[in-house]
Amino acid sequence: MTLRFDRIVLREIRLPLKQPFRISSGVVSERRIALVELQHPDGISGWGECVAGEQPNYSAETIDTAWWAIRTWIAPRLREQDLPSPNAVQQLLARDFRGHLMAKASVEMATWELAARLDGVPLARKLGGTREEIPTGISLGIQSTPEALVALALKARADGYRKIKMKIAPGTDVDFVAAVRNELGQSMALAVDANSAYTLDDSAVLRQLDALDLVMIEQPLGREDLVRHAALQHSLRTPLCLDESITDLERAEDMVTLGSGRIINIKPGRVGGFSSSLAIHDYCWAHHVPVWCGGMLESGIGRAHNVALASLPNFTLPGDLSPSARYWERDIVTPEWTMDERGMVRVPLDGPGIGVTVDMDRIDNLTVRKDVIGR
Ligand code: OSB
Ligand code: MG
């Protein structure tokens, strides 16, 4: 069957988080999530989820800019066309069309899902994934006291998580992380993520973090600043991991060339989709740079895409792929995502596509806006 879609259904759902999630640049209590359904003429759908946030505090995109970009530019360019392969979509969307990577990714990834369904293979295998289960880490938001953070970290370890990442910002950093290190001991893999909250003027604080035996410090400096990250990396022994700064393969190459970091957090939504993620993955593998799959508080659809990607061989560090119950009272897929007591999430390999069932009744109940593009 040819890869094409004649109609795109865009839906916005509202999904309250069990707990507000605070990072250095803002807090979210209820996710506004754009879901993309690509409808093939034979009645098969491919699903995608847009990771753009409610506010422009992680990147310039928001759900509202993504909605507009999909309607105005992405859907008209791809709809009612025979696509040679999902790998062709990224280039089609790149021509004379800058930015909007999260909007592009949501449709590009849905195209991969549609292609996997048309081929009757699991998305993980369509992408070239080899793993059957993924080691999982948790990302803990900024807490009001070190004691509160320690309590969450103890629970995370008891749940089986293999890595604990703590969000930090100036003023809620060294004391908080040191308290967790003291309580959990040296053997637990701990990491921090600053979401660009520091500058090189904060080097005293960054040196104190360097002494806490962290597996990585994620994105301490500016989003577009590979040069200062290189200066910082050369002064620290802890590996820096870049998240926001890596928007495409070229940025990954620059990181390696300049020495701006030693690890990459690949979020397919941030880099424009799966083709770009695969290119970054392959490049990093060849250059001995480990990668892991980050999260953006996705629902069960986005999580399925992340789990499929994380099944590739160079995803050697635990991903931010917490189970559904960590975020939501009830997810929008069945079965919900779970993690076993060893901190592993299983890659669904029994059915085609994302391998979980989209709960249409649940989605209908949560939908606040819907837009149908096409006949
Ligand atoms: O930097 O990884 C990040 C959530 C929102 C914005 C940025 C980030 C995050 C997370 C969430 O860390 C991880 C998850 O989805 O569990
Ligand atoms: Mg991050």
Nearest CA to ligand 1 atom 12: 139
Please say if the pLDDT value at position 232 is more than 90.
yes
Please give the number of the atom of ligand 1 that sits closest to the Cα of 167. 12
- Ligand 1 centre to CA of 23 (Å) is 8
Please give the number of the atom of ligand 1 that sits closest to the Cα of 195. 1
Residues 248 and 266: beta-carbon distance below 8 Å? no
Please say if the pLDDT value at position 283 is more than 90.
yes
Q: Which of 104, 163, 165, 167 is catalytic?
A: 167
Residues 297 and 31: beta-carbon distance below 8 Å? yes
Q: Confirm whether 167 is a catalytic residue.
A: yes
Q: For the domain with range 125-346, which CATH number is right: 1.20.950.20, 3.20.20.120, 3.10.50.40, 3.40.50.1240?
A: 3.20.20.120
What is the chain's mean pLDDT, rounded?
98
- The C-alpha atoms of residue 120 and residue 117 are separated, in whole angstroms, by 5
Six token digits for residue 341:
């007591």
Cα–Cα distance list, 144 to 25, 28, 171, 172, 178 (Å): 15, 15, 11, 8, 15
Q: Mean pLDDT throughout 311-333?
A: 98
Residues 206 and 236: beta-carbon distance below 8 Å? yes
Nearest CA to ligand 1 atom 8: 296
- Confidence band, pLDDT 50/70/90 cuts, at residue 375: confident
Q: pLDDT tens digits, residue range 20-32? A: 999 999 999 999 9
Helices (H), the chain: 63-69, 75-78, 89-94, 101-119, 123-126, 146-159, 174-184, 203-210, 226-235, 249-258, 274-286, 300-310, 324-327, 360-366
Q: Mean pLDDT throughout 238-262?
A: 98
25, 139, 303, best to mutate for ligand 1 pocket (most atoms within 8 Å of CB): 139
Domain ranges of the chain: 7-120+359-374, 125-346
- Ligand 2 centre to CA of 246 (Å) is 11
Q: Is the pTM of this model over 0.95?
A: yes
Nearest CA to ligand 1 atom 5: 296
Residues 177 and 209: beta-carbon distance below 8 Å? yes
The CATH architecture to which 7-120+359-374 belongs is: 2-Layer Sandwich (3.30)
- Ligand 2 centre to CA of 298 (Å) is 14
Please say if the pLDDT value at position 103 is more than 90.
yes
Q: pLDDT tens digits, residue range 158-194? A: 999 999 999 999 999 999 999 999 999 999 999 999 9
Residues 94 and 278: beta-carbon distance below 8 Å? no
- Ligand 2 centre to CA of 193 (Å) is 6
- Phi, psi (5° rounding) for residue 150? -60, -45
- Ligand 2 centre to CA of 271 (Å) is 13
Please say if the pLDDT value at position 1 is more than 90.
no
Residue 251 C-alpha from the chain's centroid: 17
- Confidence band, pLDDT 50/70/90 cuts, at residue 341: very high
Six token digits for residue 350:
């029994």
Ligand 1 binding site (Cβ under 6 Å of any ligand atom): 23, 58, 139, 193, 195, 243, 294-297, 320, 322
Shortest-distance ligand to the CA of residue 323: 1
